[in-house]
A and B are shown apart, each in its own frame.
Chain A
Amino acid sequence: MDETLVLARAQFGLNIAFHILFPTLTIGLAWILVFFRLKYARTGDAAWLATFKLWTKVFALTFAMGVVTGIVMSFQFGTNWPGFMTKVGNIAGPLLAYEVLTAFFLEATFLGVMLFGMNRVPAWLHILATVLVAAGTSLSAFWILALNSWMQTPTGHIVADGTLIAGDWLRVIFNPSFPYRLTHMMLASFLTAAFVVAGLSAWRLLKAPEDAAARGTLRTGALLAAILAPLQILIGDLHGLNTLEHQPAKIAAVEAIWKTEKGVPLVFFAIPNEEQKRNDFSIQVPRLASFILKHDFDAELKGLDAFGANTPPVAPVFFAFRLMVGMGAAMLALAWLGVWLTRAGRAAPRWLLWVLSAFTFSGWIATLAGWIVTEIGRQPWLVTGVLRTEDAVGQVSGAQLGASLTAYGITYAIMFVAYMVVLTHLAGKGAAAAEPHPEKGFVKGAA
């Protein structure tokens, strides 16, 4: 691979991986905010108001990180992948335009009302604003996942003069992998948000064990996670079967199946050996992969040898998949444990608070691992069967890419450290501190 391609991919990968952290959290958290807001509206309890205000601050911070890194994305399509726009711009463009028109303005505008307008508008309008922010974030996920899914499993297009145009927009949007990917990502967002809420509440309880608001939010997060984690495992399985049907090479990489054969073993752990096309140090269960993927112990599975040169690198896909599944299983166990230990108003033991705090960002790790599986697993294609990644790269020099990669890297590092410091600081102070100080307002109260 030439230098420009490597740097363009590294830069885009860095940006998209950094960006996705924040929407992943806000999509789920926005609906949790709706829940807190409605709780306050129904009970009139100041504790719910304080809870709502604290978490809107976490939301605002996270949303701002998402917005500014998202703007970078909208430019990098053109700067890094001009070939993508030339070839499939007629499909990608409208989907992105609909995202901006229906989602971005909605969430950005009503965010202002939600954050700063509570005393300026009637309660119903403030509740509506909170709902519209949540609807905006979810709509945004709808459009961007429609585009991503179309790139993975393109349908509904026709070729005209070497470029693609949409023949049937409904088939473009509702392409075969879209329902699975959308559901999988929405659940990932809710799980991420649930663990952030539970984890930061646990962090607060380590400092102030009597904080009733933090106990309530910890319970909310744990319950939500306990309900959604098994659902996510089910959807993930269905998503995998869908991928087997439409992108079998990706599954071959996920399971490190090098040769097409019958009765394929399930590899739990191995070091994929790309040179010799085999697995080293493999720990496996005979015939189980065939059973899981085809529900028949003797079924034939296509190996990487069936796809010629059109295969992704195996090791990153293989390991990222195991990281995702392992993290998902740990999250499920922890959520159930958390719900059990806090049943009927019991206070969580300190060791659980420590574990939950440590798992605050577990959703990010699982989500990033999942995206690595699906995006690297799609290679060498940018749009499966239509456009190769190497054919979409632009003419920007390696020096420019290197310089800007450094600039982005430094900026992201500063932003990330500041984000983490402020988040733990906010959480450590708890909901009570989010109440406006009579004179100086929130600024003084939280600091």
Chain B
Amino acid sequence: MTLDLPLIFAFLMGAAILAYVVLDGFDLGVGMLLPAAEEREQNRMVNSIGPFWDANETWLVLGIGILLVAFPVAHGVVLQALYLPVVAMLVGLMLRGVAFEFRLKAEGWHRELWNGLFWFGSFLASLAQGIMLGRYITGFEPGFAYLFFAFVVGAALCGGYVLLGATWLILKTEGALQRKAVAWARWGLLWVALGVALVSLATPLVSETVRNKWFDFPNTLWLMLLPAASVAAGLRLWVVAGRLGRGEPAREWAPFAHAVAIFVLAFLGLAYSLFPYVVIDRLSIWDAAAHPSSLTVVLWGAAIVLPFIIGYSALSYRIFRGKARETLYE
């Protein structure tokens, strides 16, 4: 039996990107929420993501690494087409990553400056990632309408990250900050609902390929399970967050879990829309795939090492479970 290596790597790349979006999504979201909190709360918020953000960003490097390893032709096409948003994202991620360290060691207006850059970097990176996604699903078509569409996706992704960040804070904080996080999560949810609805309606309009995939009866009926499940997760999130906000008993991890579920469902919908293209309408995963000898050697490595990575990542989340404290170095 021969393995369909490009298909396996498309799956691995998707999994790495989804892991990145969810994991760095919550810490980017916390970054975007920073100006909405008071100074003492800001420390707690940043500390809640302190032990994790480095490793979370590594999933981005893995995702882009798999694109490079498995689909080298697409790597060049995609990254050159997305050149400017990629630069914007990288500048954002750099500012945010170092602001994390610098704000800990600064005081007075220096600290304010790094808080500002932490927010700005988080926002810039999130917006740029959304724009990249918008450009990607429309096959990098030029023109104002497509660009506008990309910005709408950018705004929607910012909302999604805010939702992830706020629900993460519900899990990791308590008291007044937790109640604030509930309100932020509800705003984020509305924003996401609007964004996802707009993008879901607009994508079939701007892309014939996507339209044909979704409006292909009777498959369409099955596919409707995806948006239906998203709506159910959203409603449930709204209700649970409300209970927590009123101080009624509810599971504190539930809002975050539902936010993750919404991301997973949206991702599945997107993956269905694009498959089997790595560059829509131009390159399929089989056209762009690297030589089987390269793919095999990486697959072996991934098969051996990934379980360890998942294992010690889980260990790290377990070590730092519980509520975030105000001091980070202890």
Q: Which residues of A are at the interface with B, using a C-beta cutoff of 8 A?
A: 53, 57, 60-61, 63-65, 67-72, 74-75, 77-79, 82-83, 85-86, 89-94, 96-98, 100-102, 104-106, 108-113, 115-121, 160, 163, 165-166, 169, 394-396, 400, 403-404, 407-408, 411, 414-415, 418-419, 422, 425-426, 436, 440-443, 446-447
Known: A61-B105, A418-B102. 18 other contacts (CB 8 A): A57-B105, A67-B54, A75-B90, A77-B68, A78-B67, A97-B65, A101-B309, A105-B55, A105-B58, A112-B316, A165-B293, A395-B80, A408-B91, A411-B95, A414-B95, A415-B98, A422-B102, A443-B105
| Residue in contact with B69 in the complex, picked from A89, A407, A414, A418, CB distance below 8 Å | A89
Tell me if B61 is interfacial: C-beta within 8 Å of chain A: yes
Q: Is the CB of A75 within 8 A of B79?
A: yes
Chain B residues within an 8 Å CB radius of A418? 98, 102
Q: Nearest-CB distance from A263 to chain B (Å)?
A: 48
Chain A residues within an 8 Å CB radius of B100? 64
Segment at the A interface, from B183-191, B222-230, B273-281, B300-308: B300-308
Q: Is the CB of A396 within 8 A of B69?
A: no
> Given that A94-B294, A442-B327 are contacting pairs, would A404 and B54 also be in contact in the complex, using a CB cutoff of 8 Å?
no
Chain A residues within an 8 Å CB radius of B291? 90, 160, 163, 165
| Residue in contact with B305 in the complex, picked from A61, A79, A102, CB distance below 8 Å | A102
Q: Show 10 A/B contacts (Cβ-Cβ < 8 Å), sorted by A.
A: A63-B54, A67-B57, A77-B68, A78-B78, A97-B301, A101-B302, A165-B294, A166-B297, A403-B84, A411-B94
Could you tell me the distance between the alpha carbons of A255 and B159 in the complex, rounded to whole angstroms? 59
Main SS at interface, chain B: helix
Q: Is the CB of A407 within 8 A of B58?
A: no
Q: Is the CB of A89 within 8 A of B72?
A: yes
Chain A residues within an 8 Å CB radius of B320? 112, 116-117, 120
Tell me if B193 is interfacial: C-beta within 8 Å of chain A: no
Chain B residues within an 8 Å CB radius of A404? 83-84, 87
Tell me if B231 is interfacial: C-beta within 8 Å of chain A: no
**From A440, which residue of chain B is reached at the shortest CB distance?**
B327
Q: Is the CB of A90 within 8 A of B290?
A: yes
Chain B residues within an 8 Å CB radius of A111? 54-55
Tell me if B106 is interfacial: C-beta within 8 Å of chain A: yes
Q: Is the CB of B101 within 8 A of A61?
A: yes
Tell me if B298 is interfacial: C-beta within 8 Å of chain A: yes
Q: Is the CB of B84 within 8 A of A400?
A: yes
Tell me if B283 is interfacial: C-beta within 8 Å of chain A: no
Q: Is the CB of A74 within 8 A of B65?
A: yes
Tell me if B199 is interfacial: C-beta within 8 Å of chain A: no
| Residue in contact with A109 in the complex, picked from B302, B305, B306, B313, CB distance below 8 Å | B313
Tell me if B62 is interfacial: C-beta within 8 Å of chain A: yes
> Given that A74-B64, A116-B329 are contacting pairs, would A68 and B97 also be in contact in the complex, using a CB cutoff of 8 Å?
yes
Q: Is the CB of A108 within 8 A of B297?
A: no
Chain B residues within an 8 Å CB radius of A82? 75-77, 79-80
Chain B residues within an 8 Å CB radius of A109? 54-55, 309, 312-313, 316
Q: Is the CB of A93 within 8 A of B298?
A: yes
Identify which of A91, A105, A395, A400 gathers the most chain B CB atoms within 10 Å of its CB.
A105
**From B79, which residue of chain A is reached at the shortest CB distance?**
A78
Q: Nearest-CB distance from A428 to chain B (Å)?
A: 12
> Given that A67-B57, A115-B51, A411-B95 are contacting pairs, would A426 and B297 also be in contact in the complex, using a CB cutoff of 8 Å?
no
Tell me if B93 is interfacial: C-beta within 8 Å of chain A: yes
**From A422, which residue of chain B is reached at the shortest CB distance?**
B105
Could you tell me the distance between the alpha carbons of A240 and B273 in the complex, rounded to whole angstroms? 55
Tell me if B107 is interfacial: C-beta within 8 Å of chain A: yes
Chain B contact residue count (CB 8 A cutoff): 65
Q: Nearest-CB distance from B17 to chain A (Å)?
A: 14
> Given that A75-B90, A102-B301, A120-B320 are contacting pairs, would A86 and B76 also be in contact in the complex, using a CB cutoff of 8 Å?
yes
Q: Nearest-CB distance from B52 to chain A (Å)?
A: 6
Could you tell me the distance between the alpha carbons of A58 and B271 in the complex, rounded to whole angstroms? 42
Chain A residues within an 8 Å CB radius of B75? 77-78, 82, 85, 89
Q: Nearest-CB distance from B103 to chain A (Å)?
A: 9
Q: Is the CB of A64 within 8 A of B58?
A: no
Chain A residues within an 8 Å CB radius of B156? none
Q: Is the CB of A100 within 8 A of B91?
A: no
Q: Is the CB of A411 within 8 A of B91?
A: yes
| Residue in contact with B58 in the complex, picked from A65, A108, A116, A441, CB distance below 8 Å | A108
Q: Nearest-CB distance from B32 to chain A (Å)?
A: 18
> Given that A93-B298, A113-B51, A394-B76 are contacting pairs, would A71 and B66 also be in contact in the complex, using a CB cutoff of 8 Å?
no
Could you tell me the distance between the alpha carbons of A108 and B316 in the complex, rounded to whole angstroms? 11
Chain A residues within an 8 Å CB radius of B145? none
Q: Is the CB of A78 within 8 A of B76?
A: yes
Could you tell me the distance between the alpha carbons of A220 and B92 in the complex, rounded to whole angstroms? 38
Q: Nearest-CB distance from B322 to chain A (Å)?
A: 9
Q: Nearest-CB distance from B136 to chain A (Å)?
A: 14
Q: Is the CB of A441 within 8 A of B328?
A: yes
Q: Nearest-CB distance from A315 to chain B (Å)?
A: 31
Q: Is the CB of B297 within 8 A of A94?
A: yes
Identify which of B97, B107, B329 gathers the most chain A CB atoms within 10 Å of its CB.
B329
Could you tell me the distance between the alpha carbons of A91 and B69 in the complex, rounded to whole angstroms? 9
Q: Nearest-CB distance from B49 to chain A (Å)?
A: 10
Chain A residues within an 8 Å CB radius of B309? 101, 105-106, 109
> Given that A77-B68, A113-B319, A116-B330 are contacting pairs, would A101 and B57 also be in contact in the complex, using a CB cutoff of 8 Å?
no
